[in-house]
Structure 1
Amino acid sequence: MTELHYMAPMANLASIASLGLMSHARASDVAHDSVALADVQDRRAGKRVPGGRLLHEYVNLYFDARNAMMWMRRSDDLVVVRIAPAVLDLDGVVVSDGNAANGPTRFFPSPGGLANLDAERVYAEWWTHDDYWEQQERKRQRQAEVLVPDVVSPEHILGCYTWRSSAAQECRRLAAHWAVEVNAHVYFA
């Protein structure tokens, strides 16, 4: 693993570059755009990480942004913020073996919890399957998360991916010190 991912609207990049990534609870105090689906946020709102805090008190990072959320939300103004895997060693970080809002998902302390992930499923090119229930399980696992309490500080941000070169230029303008790359593959293009 060389990086973790966070999806954000381009409009939030200047704030992210200066303040870092904030949990849903902390971000409520800062003006920002959201790509979150309301029904998913409703499920996440009351969910508590076993032995931990409410899910909305964590910054949720993906192992790979090329997942079901990206499939539904991909657009020119969506960027993938690239995070250093060193966040796995921060206090209180939790690893989930699937989408954290999904009922069967299990949670483990990081970094040891990585051993509970099915890497082939987490990094699979696709989660599709002929059997509906198997597809749902693969989709859940493909969206495994790293949950960081409260904030991912700016020094853990490596850069970002964009869909097209015009978006990359805007990224470079908003976060000049980041490594910016066009990576259409993560956007299913």
Structure 2
Amino acid sequence: MGHTNNSDVISLNIAVLTVSDTRDEDTDTSGAYLVSALETDGHNLVDKRIVKDDKYQLRATVSNWIASTDVQVILVTGGTGFTARDTTPEAISVLFDKEIEGFGELFRHISYTEIGTSTVQSRALGGMANGTAIFCMPGSTGACRTAWTGILQQQLNSTHRPCNFIVHLKDVNTAPCETRG
């Protein structure tokens, strides 16, 4: 795990997974956005993959990252809708030690201002497993931007107060969240 020059800011090791039957590295704009955003904010990309909408392949990839000592955060884009091929929530939620209900709730709240009631068709979700934070968001680049700028950018920033997710991640030594007083 790397640190930036500012001793209060912690650079996280993040893996990005795009769930798609059709995208490749040339057409994966959502995964590319997440990589660019996390690197711009000083985090480290440790792995990036594109996996077909197959819940067993998704579980295998995410399980390996959860078990690794290198990956602290997993960003998953795609497969959170309602089509028959959308299995990301079913594939990934069973791996959680704890669900982060607030991620999906806040994502849909923010998304409502952008796409109205269509946000009810988003099954964005988050959870923790083995000291790894996992955030699953829709496959559109706009949805990834909403999730990053509206939630993740702050919650993956060690200087964000009163709370952020850093204290819950493996291989991080930092003080716990402040109380709300």
Q: TM-score, normalised by structure 1?
A: 0.30
Higher RCO (C-alpha 8 Å, min separation 6): 1
